[in-house]
Amino acid sequence: MDIGSMAVSKSTVHQARIAGREQAAEKIVELRNQEIPERLVLHWDGKLLPSLSGDTGDRIAVLLTGEDDAEFLLGVPASSDSTGRNVAAVVLKEVDEAGVRDKIIAFCFDTTASNTGMVQASALPLVLTLESSNDSVIDGPSWIPRRETVETSEDLVEFFATNDTASKLKDDALAFLKEALMSKNHPREDYEELLRLSYLFLGGEGPAKPFRRPGALHQARWMAKAIYCLKLQMLKSQLSLTGREKAGVERMALFVALVYCKQWHEAPISVKAPLNDVLFLEILKTYPDQTVAKAAEQALRRHLWYVSEENAGLAFFDSRIDVEEKKQMKLNADEGFLAKDPALWEEDDRFKDARKRALGLRVVNDDAEQGIALVQRYLGSTKSAAQEKYLLQLVHHHRKLVGREKKEDLQKKAF
């Protein structure tokens, strides 16, 4: 190596890194344009973060997902504020720069006031602007009982022994949790932890695993609170809790394990969402603790607007719905596989293709949340908005390539 021909100037190296980052980002965009599916789901999420100028500002993560696990980060641009119209303008700008407006068939976003509020929600202008959009897909509802709804409850053993509804809910929950744990198909470890803790709390038997130390806990992380509450309930004999606190922990642990854990776990399955919401409402009508049930039902009903005629059609691909009910659902529709008797749908290639596309829809907003986490991780690494965008696209692309593989797996590929 000829040391004399090497550039050791800090500014020269810096300029080379800038150029290299831009070239790599351009290649990623070219690759994206070649691989991008014909049908896309648009995801976005926002958070207040420090800006490049040192102030605090809103950052909006904008991503696309599609069939065959396709996922593309468009950017995490800044917004002047979190009002719906500004968020919509920022998201639309990223969409137009990528040239994918006509490919978007669905939206996925959190049900915040800025997205779905009555006055200045971002979802409405996006729906009106993206005229080709024929669907709106959002997160499954999330709810956590507030402290004021917490009072007292019966002893758990007596509760299940004397209440037929609770006993049936327990049996159904244990059967579901056991099957879900055996599948080992969990997006993250905390999803598996919630299932396992709920299973153990209800009396299920399984391999002994140590309790993890509780992680970060704040208002936006419902699952962390559910996990924390289940741990408090199972370890309450070792803790100094007041009678009111013990009763509150018990009530929430029961609701999570008996009812909500299944709803949360199946929320990403698009074709199950319509029926699950109906079944959830039915369960809440008969749930033994009506104070908790009514609070949950009130929150759920605020989100039922998304079960529109278009989204309810996802239930055509739900195997739990029988043929006779599907006949009533399709009415006089005479297009495609809908023109056939539902009993013959499984043999129709058009039905199979539509079901594959429906199952491929990502209907929870984890992808956009990961985009926010990405910009937090690399915040301040560059002083240019353009360079920051290149960097984030490069890291996101690299993570897709590497995934969760271990060092030995990467070494095998290298040789």
**Residue 357 and residue 66 in contact, taking contact as beta carbons nearer than 8 Å:** no
Does one domain contain both 352 and 403?
no
pLDDT over 50 at 57, yes or no = yes
- Specify the pLDDT at position 379: 86
**Residue 322 and residue 303 in contact, taking contact as beta carbons nearer than 8 Å:** no
Residue 275 within a domain:
no
Q: What span, in angstroms and rounded, lies between the C-alpha atoms of 23 and 44?
A: 26
pLDDT over 90 at 288, yes or no = yes
Upper half-sphere CA count for residue 237 (Cβ side, 13 Å): 1
Burial of 189 (0-12, 13-18, 19+ CB in 10 A): exposed
Tokens standing for 326?
A: 């599907």
Rounded average pLDDT over 3-8 = 69
Does one domain contain both 129 and 211?
no
Q: Tens digit of pLDDT for each residue in 174-226?
A: 999 999 999 877 878 888 999 999 999 998 887 667 777 776 665 556 788 89
Q: Tens digit of pLDDT for each residue in 300-330?
A: 888 787 777 788 889 999 999 999 999 888 8
- Specify the pLDDT at position 385: 86
pLDDT over 80 at 38, yes or no = yes
Residue 302 within a domain:
no
DSSP 303: T
Residue 301 within a domain:
no
Burial of 194 (0-12, 13-18, 19+ CB in 10 A): buried
Q: What span, in angstroms and rounded, lies between the C-alpha atoms of 148 and 282?
A: 24
Does one domain contain both 50 and 154?
no
Q: What span, in angstroms and rounded, lies between the C-alpha atoms of 102 and 34?
A: 16
pLDDT over 70 at 415, yes or no = no
Q: Which of 268, 298, 318 is the last residue of a domain?
A: 268
- Specify the pLDDT at position 124: 57
- Specify the pLDDT at position 178: 94
- Specify the pLDDT at position 153: 39
Does one domain contain both 11 and 101?
yes
- Specify the pLDDT at position 83: 80
Does one domain contain both 89 and 166?
no
pLDDT over 70 at 137, yes or no = no
Instruction: Tell me which of 58-67, 153-162, 172-181 is least confident.
Output: 153-162
Q: What span, in angstroms and rounded, lies between the C-alpha atoms of 64 and 60?
A: 13
**Residue 170 and residue 160 in contact, taking contact as beta carbons nearer than 8 Å:** yes
pLDDT over 60 at 146, yes or no = no
pLDDT over 50 at 140, yes or no = no
- Specify the pLDDT at position 328: 87
Helices and strands (H, E) in the chain, number of each type:
18, 5
**Helices of type H across 99-212:** 113-116, 123-129, 156-162, 164-183, 189-201
Query: Look-up: residue for tokens 């790599």?
Result: 24
- Specify the pLDDT at position 251: 92
Q: Tell me the CATH number at 133.
A: 3.30.420
Q: What span, in angstroms and rounded, lies between the C-alpha atoms of 263 and 249?
A: 20
Q: What is the dihedral of CA 123, 128, 133, 135, to 10 degrees?
A: 50
Residue 341 within a domain:
yes
pLDDT over 80 at 410, yes or no = no
Does one domain contain both 83 and 155?
no
pLDDT over 50 at 152, yes or no = no
**217-84-371 Cα angle (round to 5):** 45
Does one domain contain both 318 and 376?
no
Q: Which of 360, 381, 396 is the last residue of a domain?
A: 360
- Specify the pLDDT at position 407: 66
Contacts of 367 (CB under 8 A, 6+ apart): 43, 63, 65, 71, 108
Instruction: Tell me which of 225-229, 263-267, 331-335 is least confident.
Output: 331-335
- Specify the pLDDT at position 10: 83
pLDDT over 80 at 257, yes or no = yes
Q: Tens digit of pLDDT for each residue in 355-406?
A: 998 998 888 888 888 888 898 888 888 888 889 999 999 999 888 887 656 6
More confident call, 113 vs 167: 167
Tokens standing for 374?
A: 């990405």
Contacts of 97 (CB under 8 A, 6+ apart): 74
Does one domain contain both 215 and 167?
yes
**Residue 105 and residue 135 in contact, taking contact as beta carbons nearer than 8 Å:** yes
- Specify the pLDDT at position 132: 43
Query: What is the greatest pairwise CA distance in the chain?
Result: 86
More confident call, 296 vs 210: 296
**Residue 60 and residue 371 in contact, taking contact as beta carbons nearer than 8 Å:** no
Question: What percent of the chain has pLDDT above 70?
Answer: 82
Instruction: Tell me which of 44-48, 123-127, 381-385 is least confident.
Output: 123-127
Q: Of the ranges 12-16, 293-297, 370-374, which is most confident?
A: 293-297
**Residue 195 and residue 260 in contact, taking contact as beta carbons nearer than 8 Å:** no
Residue 281 within a domain:
no
Does one domain contain both 14 and 91?
yes
Does one domain contain both 164 and 233?
yes
Instruction: Tell me which of 174-188, 204-218, 250-264, 331-345 is least confident.
Output: 204-218
Residue 306 to residues 30, 140, 199, 278, 302, Cα–Cα distance (Å): 35, 10, 31, 13, 10
Which residue range(s) make up the domain with 207?
Answer: 147-268
Question: What percent of the chain has pLDDT above 90?
Answer: 36
- Specify the pLDDT at position 118: 56
Residue 278 within a domain:
no
Q: Give the mean pLDDT of the chain.
A: 82
Does one domain contain both 170 and 239?
yes
- Specify the pLDDT at position 224: 85
First to last CA, the chain: 25
Residue 282 within a domain:
no
pLDDT over 80 at 147, yes or no = no
Q: Which of 360, 377, 396 is the last residue of a domain?
A: 360
- Specify the pLDDT at position 130: 64
Domain count of the fold of the chain: 3
Q: Could you tell me where the beta strands, DSSP code E, fall in 40-169?
A: 40-50, 56-66, 70-75, 78-79, 104-108
Residue 195 within a domain:
yes
Q: Output b/e per residue, 145-173; b: 16+ Cβ within 10 A.
A: beeebbeebbebeebbeeeeebeebbeeb
Does one domain contain both 134 and 158?
no
